[in-house]
Chains A and B, each alone.
Chain A
Amino acid sequence: MTIGNKDLFVGFLKIGMMGFGGVAPVARHVIVEDRRWMDDKEYAALLGFGQLLPGANVTNMAILLGMRHGGFLGVLAAMGGMLAVPLLVLMAVSTAYSHAASHPVVGHALASMASVAGGVLIGTGLKTARKAKLDRLGIAFAGLGFVAVAGFHLPMIWVLLSLLPFSVALAWRRHKRS
């Protein structure tokens, strides 16, 4: 089945518009249930690729899907659809923010939301780690990355370059044996 560019645009327009508080759950709903572009298993594989590549996960998914079905124009249709409405909303909200930022209530409300958001991210990380069922080595690498960045403020690029080769090499050896 090939998804047309117009269909890609409309599907991702929905994902972008409905993705309040994160697009990942909405993306599954639109792609699997609403548009029926693929089943849950294929969707899991697509999401897996999105996570494997650097960059935003859902954005990568849109690019992979767009490329597969409509080439370069497909990518433009999917990305344009997903970003059009959110960008306009952000411009409006940001303009309002520059006028209202000095108001104490606005400042308190936004600062409180940022505090909660930080907690939600930590919780999401823990939840995902629990589901990923890391082995002892995996927990060690996760811990090293966490401590290096959150504890020692080491530059991200050095953390990635020093951890990823070892982590991938060890996983490679383990998978090759089995």
Chain B
Amino acid sequence: MKADLLIQLALTFASLSLMAVGGVVAIVPELHHQVVEVNHWMGNATFAHLFAIAQVAPGPNMMVVSLIGYHLAGWQGLIVATLGFLLPAGCLAAFAGTLISRYEGTWQLAAVRAGLTPVALGLFAAGGVVLCRVADQDGTGIGLSLLGVAFTLALDLNPLWVLAAGALAGTALSAL
């Protein structure tokens, strides 16, 4: 039933939205768990492909959620997934955000930020590792991931360059 799928999509992405402390990347492990392991909406390969498409397409990186919705249930899935992900955190940002911006410059806000940052960073890196684990099927994949790490640490360039280079290299190697 499509209605069941849409409701499930909305609930899944709404709960992910509120867990996204540290941004969208930090919830990649949970997104993968829900979409691939719990609901069996797609396999690892499709999940990795959709993530790659969202990375090179324009727009904020939350678009991966919209893309998953569209892939699963067409334009209705796109709307439900996007709004499901936007509304809970968005309402919090609109109301709580206006409230806390009054505390700018106080030690209390600095303390909360100092407490959130390390956890968010740890989860962000974990998101990267889980994506590598999902996408890397062989030695070439692992090599490409290491290339991505090295490029990012060494250079301050748009990641599109290394993504394009990686796509070329990976495709060429597979044809050998």
Contact = CB atoms under 8 A, between A and B. Distances in A.
Interface of A: 16-23, 25, 45, 48-60, 63-64, 67-68, 72, 75, 79, 82-83, 85-87, 89-91, 93-94, 97-98, 101, 104-105, 107-129, 132, 134, 137-146, 148-150, 153, 155-157, 159-160, 163-164, 167-172, 174-176, 178
A41 to B, nearest CB: 11
Pick the 6 closest A-B CB pairs, nearest first. Answer: A119-B148, A112-B170, A86-B59, A55-B89, A123-B152, A145-B122
Interface of B: 15, 17-25, 27-30, 33, 45-46, 48-63, 66-67, 70-71, 75, 78, 82, 85-86, 88-90, 92-94, 96-98, 100-101, 104, 107-108, 110-137, 140-142, 144-153, 158-160, 162-163, 165-171, 174
Contacts, number: 392
B153 A123 contact: yes
Interface of chain B: mostly helix, strand, loop or mixed = helix
A22 B24 CA distance: 12
Given A90-B59, A107-B49, A115 B145 contact: yes
A118 B132 contact: yes
A82 B59 contact: yes
